[in-house]
Amino acid sequence: MSLAKQLWIAIILVMTVAFGGSLVVSVLSARHYLEQQLQVKNIDNATSLALSLTQLDKDPVTVELQVSAQFDAGHYRFIRITSPTGEVLVEKVFEGELVGAPRWFANLIPIHAEPGRAMIQDGWIQYGTLTLASHDQYVYKSLWEGTIELLLWFVLGSLATGALGTLGVRLITRPLGNVVEQARAIAERRFLTVEEPRTPELRAVTRAMNDMVGRVKAMFAEEATRLDGLRFKVNHDAVTGLATRDYFLSHLREIVEGEQFGSVGSLVLVRLAHLNELNAKLGHKRADELLKHLGDVLYQSGTGRIGQRAGRVKGGEFAVACPTLDSPTAAAQDIHERMLRDWFPAWEPEFPDLFHVAAVRYERGQSLGDLLSRADEALAQAQSKGMNSWYAMDDGKTKISVPAEQWRTLLTEAVSGGQLSLSFYPVVQGAAGAPMHQEGVIRLQLDNSGQLLSAGDFMPMAANLNLTAPIDLGVVKLAIEHLQKGSGDVAVNLSAETIADFGFRGRLVELLQGYPALCKRLLFEVPEYGVFRQFDAFKDLARSLKALGCRVGIEYFGQRFAESDKLAGLGLDYIKVHPSYIRGISQNPGNQEFLKGLCSMAHALGIVVIALGVERKEDLPLLAQLGFDGATGPGVG
């Protein structure tokens, strides 16, 4: 029961008790006063009438006429004259009904006023005794009207007091509403702080909850910092800060074999010409500075390019995966120009012959060994061209042979013409492999040949044309249709560009409101880079979706782990860890320690942790031991 309702009940009880007491006192006091006035009137009227009758002749007719005239004009209950012997000489009695007050009220509050008595003389002889009583209906009428008026004032006073009290309670308890919202947010795994109110009692509660939230955030941030340091130490080269060989190859395998990016991209290799001579001439410290400088340039080449990552694969050999560049020539030129502009001038005086650059194209599903072999061949071609040269093994293929101007028509017709579909992949729970939910992955039918494109092949172009919102809305509709036909839960992906579209959010909420029973079976996930790029928009979207009963998660989690302390305020239901940490987990103790800490931290916030890209079913028991709640990938199903 709300505080306002409790206040109304308290006001009604207090006012009822107060009114009842005041009503009883008032009515009894009024009755006592009116009884006295009625008794005085009876005595005065009896004395006056007796005096008048004493002066008249005692003819029975004359006496009766005088009494009748007095009775008719004076509103009496009765007038009676009795002889000294007790004989009734004259008697007039009111025989009408009580008016002015209900009978039950008269019975509840009886009036007891003594009749007036006076002696009637006939000369020196007593003629008789006059007894009269005025009618008490006016007393009851006065008491009844007074009671009704008091009751009316009570009702008006109660309404006014209740209204003012309700307004006061709302003003006073407004900070309490913030505390309640904070408690509800904590229950939803959203750790928020609120402003401390002025009320001392509420201030103490709010301060205690804010302190608890602050400690949780501090612990989460501290653990996130520790795990991020461990992650960097395990997966990054100590000298250059770039990805280690194993971590880079794991990421490259995800790009080549996964569906997050397009089916075609480029791999760039950079090789220092004479690493041993560099170490001998420059010394260990300056050689490390050269490598660190090169690592910074290669790392910066990925700024603004999703998925592009550089790694140190050998002592003097570096690689850059470029999933957004399908032309090896463009990729090689970009890296070569950056090195000539930002790195080479600082070291050219000492080593004019310093490096070579090569690039090759990869295709989805290509063997990683074959790709690296072709990259080595291209690097040999670059070395044969002379000092600081580059070479691209470009076969002229592109991602999709569709002219850019036709993409808008193709994607628009795909949404309205039913060319979008979902492919479902299982997400299993624990080592036993019990089903958790299915992940619905979007497909686009390019033409009548039946060729299906994955999201990485067409969603970048859709983002450039601002068409991700209708596509994502179409995906949600397909997921709802699937849920209506079968059982289980379904997870769908939302594009990073879509979450900041408020128009899309309104249409999505309106769509989901029409299927309240299915919302509990529908999961939404956004790639990590999209979450942190549009963090406030994702936070609002997550709150809207969770209010409808949907679950919300982050996909490809772990690439921007340094910012994961922000997750304490999101109320996430689950995260899906990036495949680059999962592949080869049985041979990587460092990543095992990192992932175990990640799972512990996520579980402390009530977040389910799922492994992406599991290649071997034999890894499921190990992942379960590390704390993973579920897994998905080619080795699962």
The string of DSSP codes covering 423-434 is EEEEEEETTTTE
Res. 448: pLDDT tops 80: no
Find where tokens 């280690």 sit. 244
**pLDDT number for residue 631:** 93
**pLDDT number for residue 397:** 57
**pLDDT number for residue 98:** 63
Of 603 and 74, the structure prediction assigns the larger pLDDT to: 603
Tens-place pLDDT, residues 312-352: 998 889 999 999 888 899 999 999 999 999 999 998 888 88
**pLDDT over 70 percentage in the chain:** 94
**pLDDT number for residue 213:** 78
What CATH code is assigned to 3-159? 3.30.450
User: What are the residue boundaries of the structural domains of the chain, listed by start?
Assistant: 3-159, 264-393, 404-631
What is the average pLDDT across 242-256?
A: 91
**pLDDT number for residue 398:** 54
Of 15 and 251, the structure prediction assigns the larger pLDDT to: 251
Strand 88-93 and strand 264-272: the pairing is unpaired
Res. 35: pLDDT tops 90: no
Tens-place pLDDT, residues 397-438: 555 556 666 778 888 888 787 788 899 999 998 777 788 999
| pTM of the predicted structure, to 2 decimals | 0.70
Banded pLDDT at 29 (limits 50, 70, 90) = confident
Residue 528 has φ and ψ, to the nearest 5°, of -60, -40
**pLDDT number for residue 227:** 85
CB hemisphere CA count around 244 (13 angstroms): 15
Cα–Cα distance between 432 and 420 in angstroms, integer? Answer: 33
What is the average pLDDT across 2-18?
A: 74
Tens-place pLDDT, residues 343-393: 999 988 888 889 999 999 998 888 888 999 999 999 989 998 888 999 998
Q: How far apart are the first and last CA of the chain?
A: 51
Of 189 and 451, the structure prediction assigns the larger pLDDT to: 451
Lowest mean pLDDT among 85-94, 181-190, 616-625: 181-190
264-393: CATH, from 3.10.450.50, 3.40.640.10, 3.30.70.270, 3.40.630.10: 3.30.70.270
Could you name the CATH architecture of 404-631?
Answer: Alpha-Beta Barrel (3.20)
The overall average pLDDT reported for the chain is: 85
What is the average pLDDT across 535-539?
A: 89
Res. 487: pLDDT tops 80: yes
Of 236 and 180, the structure prediction assigns the larger pLDDT to: 236
593-631 exposure pattern, b = at least 16 Cβ within 10 A, e = fewer: ebbebbbebbeebebbbbbbbbbebebbeebbebbbbbb
Banded pLDDT at 553 (limits 50, 70, 90) = very high
